[in-house]
């Protein structure tokens, strides 16, 4: 029996086409003994390779303990030296767990730690004393420091991808590119970046989304590494789009109110249509918190007595469950109203109604 991993690698290397791989899987399911009544897996589920076995979790725990302790013992080298030591260790560990063992979750963790270490080592070497997350969100830092650290991270991510081919690396490189853009805009508009940060992030998010769609549409059946690359890019694009869209335009004063509830829900509904259309749930996940705030605001405005938190959680949970149950029919309904030529280029066009396929 040919394993699914072998078929996947053969598809990625061009030995067989994605269509041939899908037909091989269908033939294997048809000829397998005792599987005449087996239920097929949904064709439009997002197939993600996070964990290849419990060994992934076990190794990831070990990596967290080892790298955390290494950072503690490397503090004597200074901030830049400590992060450089952690980054170097992440690369060396990836030589075995990623390049040799091909373990999914450890590879993701090692890539994230490596890129974060390069960013922090670069920014610390340039004189930054702000921790990782505040340095990305606060604009009190010298903007060129952010841009140069992003440039170093971008170069390191590209070298890492050339060596290890971890799908999340492309998203890490895109995040570094966003940091470069923000830093350059902050340097070009001194004192005015606070007003421009939301449009800049929104444009960057849309660009990342377009890049993700290029990978998605090049592998509509989601059989190759490109679908994993697209998933991580969508996961990056979602908060870059949702956060500035809500905070910059729906909440211009930075605080929610009753008048902003309906626009927030309208934005969330629009994101839902796009998510169903492209068969990616990341956009909806990023907007769930804002949808909950909007629903709670509507409850308060309508004079709801009692705490709105339990009801909001209940409604959001029910919405997610209902959407999960109706995801496939919703996709068929949305794709059916699109031109057939365009709909068939979207991920998993095989959910199209038969009449819609015939018309193309």
**pLDDT for 212:** 93
**pLDDT for 83:** 93
What is residue 79's DSSP assignment? H
In tens digits, what is the pLDDT along the chain, a chain of 360 residues? 566 667 777 777 777 777 777 777 666 665 554 443 333 444 445 666 666 678 889 999 999 999 999 999 998 898 889 999 999 999 999 999 998 888 889 999 999 999 999 999 998 888 766 554 444 545 445 778 888 999 999 999 999 999 998 999 999 999 999 999 988 888 887 665 676 788 888 999 999 999 999 998 888 777 778 888 998 999 899 888 888 887 766 665 555 555 566 777 777 888 888 888 888 887 788 777 777 777 777 677 666 656 667 777 888 888 888 888 888 888 888 888 888 777 777 776 555 554 444 444
With contact defined as beta carbons under 8 Å apart, do 98 and 166 qualify? yes
**pLDDT for 64:** 95
d(CA 233, CA 210): 9
**pLDDT for 84:** 94
Provide the H-helix boundaries in the chain. 4-12, 18-31, 54-73, 78-97, 104-125, 132-137, 143-164, 168-188, 193-218, 225-245, 258-278, 282-301, 308-325, 327-336, 340-343, 354-359
**pLDDT for 302:** 64
**pLDDT for 141:** 57
d(CA 285, CA 27): 36
pTM for the predicted model, two decimal places: 0.79
**pLDDT for 8:** 72
Tokens of 118: 């390069």
**pLDDT for 38:** 39
Chain center to CA of 330: 22
Q: Which residue has the tokens 């030995």?
A: 15
């Amino acid at each position: 029996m040919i394993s699914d991993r072998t078929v996947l690698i053969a598809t990625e290397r061009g030995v067989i086409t994605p269509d041939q791989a899908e037909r091989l899987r269908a033939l294997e399911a048809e000829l397998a003994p005792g599987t005449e009544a087996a239920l097929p897996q949904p064709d439009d589920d997002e197939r993600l390779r996070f964990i290849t076995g419990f060994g992934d979790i076990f190794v990831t725990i070990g990596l967290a303990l080892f790298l955390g302790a290494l950072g503690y013992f490397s503090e004597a080298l200074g901030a830049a030296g400590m992060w450089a030591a952690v980054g170097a260790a992440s690369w060396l560990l990836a030589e075995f767990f990623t390049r040799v063992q091909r373990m999914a979750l450890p590879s993701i963790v090692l890539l994230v730690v490596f890129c974060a270490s390069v960013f922090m080592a670069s920014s610390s070497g340039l004189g930054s004393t702000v921790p990782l997350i505040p340095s990305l969100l606060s604009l009190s830092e010298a903007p060129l420091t952010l841009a140069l650290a992003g440039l170093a991270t971008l170069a390191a991510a590209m070298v890492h991808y050339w060596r290890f081919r971890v799908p999340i690396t492309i998203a890490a490189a895109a995040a570094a590119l966003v940091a470069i853009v923000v830093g350059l805009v902050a340097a070009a508009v001194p004192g005015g970046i606070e007003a421009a940060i939301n449009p800049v992030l929104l444009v960057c998010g849309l660009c990342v989304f377009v890049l993700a769609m290029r990978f998605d549409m090049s592998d509509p059946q989601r059989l190759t590494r490109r679908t994993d690359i697209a998933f991580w890019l969508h996961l990056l694009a979602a908060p870059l789009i949702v956060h500035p869209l809500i905070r910059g335009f729906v909440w211009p004063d930075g605080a929610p109110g009753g008048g902003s509830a309906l626009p927030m829900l309208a934005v969330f509904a629009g994101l839902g249509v796009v998510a169903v259309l492209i068969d990616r749930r990341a956009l909806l996940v990023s907007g769930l918190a804002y949808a909950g705030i909007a629903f709670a605001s509507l409850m308060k405005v309508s004079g709801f007595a009692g705490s709105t938190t339990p009801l909001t959680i209940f409604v959001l949970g029910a919405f997610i469950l209902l959407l999960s149950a109706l995801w496939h029919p919703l996709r068929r309904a949305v794709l059916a109203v699109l031109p057939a030529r365009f709909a068939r280029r979207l991920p998993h066009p095989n959910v199209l109604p038969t009449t819609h396929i015939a018309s193309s």
